[in-house]
Amino acid sequence: MIEQILDYVGMIFVFIGSLFFLFGTIGLVRMPDLYNRMQASTKTTTLGVLSFLFGIGLMQLQWMIKLLVIALFIVLTAPVGASALARASHNAGIKLWEKSVVDKYEERKK
Amino acid sequence: MEGKFAYVTTLLIIIWIALIYSPNITTEAFLEELVAGVIISIGVAAITSKNFEGLGIKYLHPKRIAYFIAFFFVFLKEMVKANLNMARIVLSPKLPVKPGIVEIETDLKLPSAKLFLGNAITLTPGTMTIDYSNNRAYIHWVYVESTEPKKAGEIIKGKFERLLKEVSS
Amino acid sequence: MNSYFVYLILSIIAASIALGTYRLLKGPTASDRAVALDALTNITTALLVLIAVLSSRFIYLDVALVYAILAFVGVIAIARYLEGGL
């Protein structure tokens, strides 16, 4: 009985996770410049993986510890990678979208 | 110094146990793995523990741990909110964005606290840390509400910074 | 797991991978491609875990973990390269 309920709750989490993957990649295609794309894809796919792994863990309770280790690792590293990539691209001279309102980072470099 | 070494060793052993755990492992195999893990953890901690800052027994005070757990839950809540917000932006036909890079200041001193603040900012509503220089952070914002460092800082990092200050001070 | 549910999940993931691959192939700059690759990596990690569940092999989770670690190292290496430090 309880296993059935956990199974269904897990399915809901897995479904939400895969929907967030879809939103993230739609953002990746639609957003106008690199930095906005990075925001859309990094945030949504990170939460997507979290939700997905948690859902699978609810289905297979014995696997939960390992899945949480993977999830923790992704949460800790995804933003670091995104920041490093954003800074490197800015220093490599990739411009913001022409309708951007302000760029304090560019001003600092002068 | 000694405190730091013990701290890193314990942390590595906990990570090792989480990695070797599997549902139907025999006790014998588990003990063998555990001995190997303890030896490797001590070796790694002996080489690297002097490079870590902001570690030590004094950071295990119950009050700090309670504030860190509070930080974690606030972070999870903000992360879900951020993602719903991002999904709304991505799916709306007009694409309501007004991007820009703003500058904020932080009072946090410890490098690890700054790292946590930066990660939390990256994963929460419409903001992404690009660079730190000393106590200034440069944040890319999908929908810029204010370019004033004080006001922008209050909107972006308000809650997180207060909680992290309790943890790290 | 219900097999219809598995098909539903797999089709959503396939659509996301198609969109990500579009940006990976088209992306005007190298950084755009790197961002697309990063998103695809996260999706692939989830997919590897799904494969582990479907074939009920615990050991496949290690593959997902190592894949996530290597992807992080890869992104950092690309960032270092773009900044001229490699």
**What pLDDT does B28 receive?**
86
Q: CA–CA separation, C24 vs C10, rounded Å?
A: 20
Domain that holds residue B37: 2-57
Domain identity same for B118 and B45: no
Residue A101 lies in a domain: no
Domain that holds residue A27: 2-96
Interchain contact, A104 vs B147, CB within 8 Å: yes
Structure tokens at A109: 């470099």
Structure tokens at B127: 């903001």
Interchain contact, A35 vs B128, CB within 8 Å: yes
**What pLDDT does A109 receive?**
63
- Domain extents in chain C: 3-83
The interface pTM score, or ipTM, of the predicted complex is 0.86
Domain boundary, last residue among B25, B40, B57: B57
Pairing of strands B100-105, B136-141: antiparallel
Residue C86 pLDDT exceeds 60: yes
Domain identity same for B130 and B65: yes
Domain identity same for B77 and B9: no
* Domains held by chain A: number: 1
Which parts of chain A have pLDDT scores under 70? 98-110
DSSP sequence for A74-93:
HHHHHHHHHHHHHHHHHHTT
Domain identity same for B100 and B120: yes
Segment B143-151 shows an average pLDDT of 72
Residue A18 lies in a domain: yes
Contact residues for B31 (Cβ-Cβ < 8 A; gap 6+): none
Over residues B43-81, the pLDDT tens digits come to 888 888 777 765 556 666 778 788 888 888 888 888 888
Residue A32 lies in a domain: yes
| Selection from C67, C41, C47 nearest residue C6 by Cα | C47
Interchain contact, C61 vs A46, CB within 8 Å: no
Which chains lie within 8 Å of chain C at 3 or more CB pairs, if any?
A, B
